[in-house]
Amino acid sequence: MSMFEGLKFRKVSSPIHDLDPRVKFFYVIAMFAVAVMYMELLPLIVLFLIQVPLVTMAKVTKQWIKSMRGAAFFASIIFFTNFIFSYLYQGQQALPSILEYSMAMTLRFIVLVESFSIFFLTTSPDHLGLALEKSHVPYEFCFAFTTAVRFVPVLAEEAQTIMDAQKARGLELEKGNILKRVRNYIPILIPLIVNAIRRSLELAEAMESRAWGATKNRTNLYELKLRRGDYILALLTVVMLVLAVYARWHIPIPRIMEIFPWKASR
C-alpha cells in the first residue's frame, strides 16, 4: 500500500507542477530509455542525482521519500536475486563486480521509480486526463481514467470495511487448506462486486443529471498551453538523450571499482 501512497497526487503549486503533463511524460520516457541503456553503476548514479533537484523544486520531498521507501522492498528483492544468481554463476572471484552489477540493476529500478513518482506526484490526474484528451484519446476513455483514479482509494476502503464486517461474523480468512482459503474470500468478493455495480449505477445517474453527452464539442475548465518551463524541460530532455546515446557508443564507462580500486590493493 505504501508504494501507492507515494503515487497519490497532492496539489502543491511549484514550477514542476505547472509543467505540461505531455512534456513531463516525454521526460519520463526518455529517463526510462536512458536508464535501460546503461548497466554501469556510475551513469545510473548520475541519473539518480540529476533528478533530485526536480523533487526539491516540486516541494514533494516528503511524499517522494515515502514512495522510495515503498519501493525499497522490491529494490532489495532485485538486489538479492541479481546478487545470488550472479554469484552462483560467476563465483567468489568476481565478488566486487557482482556487487557493483547488482547495485546497478537495483539503482536502475530506483531511477525508474524516481522519475515515475516525480511524474505522478506533480501531475494532477485531472491534467493527465486533459493531456490524454489533447492527444486525441476519446473523451470517454479519459473520463474512465480519471474516475478510476478517483475511486481507487474509495474501493480500497470499502474492501477493508467488508472484511471487517465478515470478520465480525467469525470469518477467518487464514483458516483451512488452500481450497478453503480461496472460498473464504467469497463473502468478501460478493458484497464488493454488488456494491461496485450499485455505485456505478448511481454514478451514471449523477452523470446523466449533469448533462453527460450533451454535445460532441465538450469544453474544459483547464487549458494546456506550452510555456517557457515546458520548452526548457523538453530541451534538457533532448540534450540528455543525445548525450546519453553518444556516451553509450563513444565513451567507455569506467566501473566504480576501477576508479576506487579498494579491492586491488590486496
Partner 1 sequence: MAIIETEKLTYTYPGAEKTSIENISIKIEEGEFVLLTGPSGCGKTTLCRCFNGLIPHFYEGKLEGKIQVVGLDVVKHPIHELAKHVGLVFQNPENQLFALSVEKDVAFGLENLGIPRKEIRQRVDWALKTTDIYHLRERPPYELSGGQQQRVAIASVLAMQPEVMVLDEPTSFLDPLGAKRIFEDIHKLNKELGITIILVEHRLDLTAKYANRIIIMDNGKVILNGKPREILDSEKARLIGIGIPKVTRLYQFLNGKGMRLNYVPLSSEEMAKKLKEVFKQ
Partner 2 sequence: MIEVKNVHFTYPSGVEALQGVSLKIRNGEFVAIMGQNGAGKTTLVKHFNGLLKPSKGNVLVDGMDTRDVSVATLARKVGFVFQNPDHQLFSETVEEEIAFALRNFGFKENVIKRRVTWALNLLGLTQYRKTSPFMLSGGERKRVALASVLAWNPKILILDEPTIGQDYGQKEKLRQFILQMKAQKKTVVIVTHDVEFVAECNPRVVLMSNGKIVADGEARKILTSPEILEKAAIIPPEISRVFLELSEFGFPTNVIDVYEAGEIILDFWEAKNREHV
Tell me which residues touch partner 1 (CB under 8 A): 9, 11, 124-126, 143, 146-147, 149-150, 153-154, 199, 202-215, 217-223
Could you identify the residue written with the cell 554469484? Answer: 87
Minimum CB separation from partner 1 for residue 217, in Å?
5
Q: Which does 154 bind (CB under 5 to 8 A by kind): partner 1, partner 2, none?
A: partner 1
Is-contact 48 67, C-beta < 8 A?
A: no
Q: Which is closer to partner 2, CB of 49 or CB of 165?
A: 165
Note the Cα 117 to chain centre separation in Å. 5
- Beta-carbon neighbour count of residue 135 at 10 Å? 12
Note the Cα 25 to chain centre separation in Å. 12
Q: Which does 165 bind (CB under 5 to 8 A by kind): partner 2, partner 1, none?
A: partner 2
Q: Which does 215 bind (CB under 5 to 8 A by kind): partner 2, partner 1, none?
A: partner 1
Q: Contact positions toward partner 2, by CB under 8 A?
A: 1, 5, 158, 161-162, 164-172, 186-187, 190-191, 194-195, 198
Q: Which is closer to partner 1, CB of 70 or CB of 129?
A: 129
Is-contact 149 125, C-beta < 8 A?
A: yes
Q: Which amino acid is at 3?
A: M
Grid coordinates of 151: 475511486
Q: Write down the H helix ranges in the chain.
A: 2-7, 21-37, 41-57, 61-90, 95-122, 125-134, 139-167, 178-184, 186-209, 228-250, 256-259
Minimum CB separation from partner 2 for residue 7, in Å?
15
Q: Which does 96 bind (CB under 5 to 8 A by kind): partner 2, partner 1, none?
A: none
How far apart CA 30 and CA 27 sit, in angstroms, is 5
- Beta-carbon neighbour count of residue 263 at 10 Å? 11
Minimum CB separation from partner 1 for residue 225, in Å?
12
Minimum CB separation from partner 1 for residue 154, in Å?
6
Minimum CB separation from partner 2 for residue 167, in Å?
5
Q: Which is closer to partner 2, CB of 96 or CB of 191?
A: 191
Look at residue 102 and give its three-state secondary structure.
helix
Minimum CB separation from partner 1 for residue 22, in Å?
18
Q: Which does 167 bind (CB under 5 to 8 A by kind): partner 2, partner 1, none?
A: partner 2
How far apart CA 231 and CA 101 sit, in angstroms, is 36
Q: Which does 223 bind (CB under 5 to 8 A by kind): partner 1, partner 2, none?
A: partner 1
Of 235, 248, 244, give the one whose Cα is nearest residue 27: 235
Q: Which does 183 bind (CB under 5 to 8 A by kind): partner 1, partner 2, none?
A: none
Q: Which is closer to partner 2, CB of 94 or CB of 162?
A: 162
